[in-house]
Amino acid sequence: MNSKSLRIQRQPLVDQVIEQLQQRIAQGEFEVGAKLPSEPELTDLLGVSRSTLREAVRVLVHIGLLEVRQGDGTYVRARSAISEPLERRLQRAAILEVYEVRRILELEIARLAAQRRDKNDLDQMRKSLQQRKSALDIGDEEAFLNADLAFHQAVAIASKNSVLIELYQTFSTVVRDALAKLVTDAEIHRADQTMLHEQLLDAITIGDAEAAEQWTAKFLEAILQQLC
């Protein structure tokens, strides 16, 4: 695996602490109902600052794993998270895992879009794709990423499935934020899949669901190869 993929999968320190605490709770090291060690003990155990530990505890309280009792301490409330927002969970996941799930969503989205798209959908796709190409030509990476996301969201909207649209928006936004931290002007040009996107748009335009799936698979495979 190249150095770029290692950078992609590096987790923020707070997320590492969250995972360590979750693992220790799940494995029974910290029992449900038990009081966690003191803050100084935990910072020493985990090798992090107090501010990092406090942020991790705040997240675990929010998802129902821990409970802070003022003047007493922090207690384990449950062995597994009661409800962690999907976007937060995706931010903690490896980008390759997110892309694998995104691929599953996009293949179905492309098939449905080819069957259900209307004129407004196609107009938005064409507009976003043109903006994507223009941004690529001038090397504007922010505009490029925004237009690329807008194109794929337009395809998702064309599926006419509200659940798929919402799921895809959550996944794609997390992926876009991760890629935005890594991409450079040169990488944008090397990573360009303009032709594949145009072929996808053509397939959706003529209502060829099978071709739409095939072109989607091709451009996602190209992206995955760059991440590995």
Per-residue pLDDT tens over the stretch 147-161: 988 999 999 999 999
So what CATH class is 3-76? mainly alpha
Dihedral Cα 205, 149, 153, 10, nearest 10 deg: 130
So what CATH class is 86-227? mainly alpha
Tell me where in the chain the CATH 1.20.120.530 domain(s) lie.
86-227
Distances (CA, A) of 122 to 69, 86, 156, 160: 55, 30, 12, 13
Mean of pLDDT values over 89-117: 82
Q: Which carries the bigger pLDDT value, residue 222 or residue 149?
A: 149
CA dist., res. 156 & res. 7, Å (int): 29
Tell me where in the chain the CATH 1.10.10.10 domain(s) lie.
3-76
Distances (CA, A) of 191 to 134, 136, 185: 15, 10, 10
Intra-chain end-to-end CA distance of the chain, in Å: 6
Most confident of 56-70, 87-101, 189-203: 56-70
> pLDDT tens for residues 177-216?
666 655 544 454 445 588 899 999 999 999 999 999 999 9
User: What are 69's strand-pairing partners?
Assistant: 73
- The distance of Cα 51 from the centroid of its chain, to the nearest Å, equals 25
Burial class (CB in 10 A: 0-12, 13-18, 19+), 77: middle
Q: What is residue 48's predicted lDDT score, i.e. its pLDDT? A: 92
- Residue among 29, 183, 213, 19 at smallest CA distance from 106: 213
Contact between 64 and 75 (Cβ < 8 Å): no
**Among 2-11, 79-88, 114-123, 207-216, which stretch is predicted with the lowest mean pLDDT?**
2-11
Neighbours of 199 (CB within 10 A): 18
Mean of pLDDT values over 70-91: 73
- Residue among 33, 36, 31, 28 at smallest CA distance from 56: 36
Contact between 139 and 131 (Cβ < 8 Å): no
